[in-house]
Amino acid sequence: MCTASDTNTNNSQCGTKTNKIFYGIMGNIIKQAFLVFRIYLDMVIDVVFGLFWEGKRMAIPDLDKKHRMLTESAVTLAAKIRNGDLKSVDLVNACIERIQLVNPILNAVTDERFEEARKEAQDVDQMIEVGLTDEYFQQKPFLGVPFTAKESHAVVGMLHTLGIKVRSHVRAHTDAECVRLLRDAGAIPVAVTNVPEINKWQETRNNVYGQTNNPYHTGRTTGGSSGGEAALAAAIASPITLCSDIGGSTRMPGFYCGLYALNPTAEHTSLKGSVLRTGLDPTMASIGFVSRHCSDLGPLTKVVAGDKAKDLNLDRVVDLKSIKYYYVETGKDLRVSLISPDLRKAMNKVLMKLTEEADPDKAPIKYYHEGFSYMYSLWRYWMTKETGSFSELLANNNGKVYGVIELIKKLFGLSEYTLAAIFKLIDDQVLPAVNKDWAEQLTKQLKDDLLSKLDANSVLLFPSAPLPAPYHYSAFLRPFNFAYWGIFNVLKFPAAQVPLGLNGQGLPLGIQVVASPKNDALCLAVAEHLGKAFGGYVPPCRIVE
- Which residues are tagged catalytic? 150, 225, 249
Distance of CA 481 to the CA centre of its chain: 13
Give dist(CA 494, CA 492) in Å, integer. 7
Rounded Cα distance between 182 and 300, Å, is 8
What is the C-alpha to C-alpha distance for residues 255 and 136, in angstroms, rounded to an integer?
Answer: 36
Q: What backbone phi and psi angles, to 5 degrees, belong to 214?
A: -80, 130
Q: Dihedral angle at the C-alpha atoms of 3, 8, 12, 17, nearest 10 degrees?
A: -30
- Bridge pairing between strands 240-245 and 508-514: unpaired
CB 173 within 8 A of CB 150: no
Radius of gyration of the chain (CA): 24
E strand or H helix at 484, and its extent? helix 483-491
Which residues lie below 8 Å from residue 302, measured CB to CB, with a gap of 6+? Answer: 309, 312, 314
Separation of alpha carbons 473 and 471, rounded Å: 6
Backbone angles phi, psi at 350, to 5 degrees: -60, -45
b/e 131-156 (16+ beta carbons within 10 angstroms → b): eeeeeebeebbbbbbbbbbbbbbbbb
What is the rounded CA–CA span in Å between residue 216 and residue 234? Answer: 8
> Of 388, 352, 470, nearest to 199 (Cα)?
388
Instruction: Please give the sequence-ordered ranges of beta strands (E in DSSP) within 292-395, or none if there are none.
Output: 324-327, 365-366
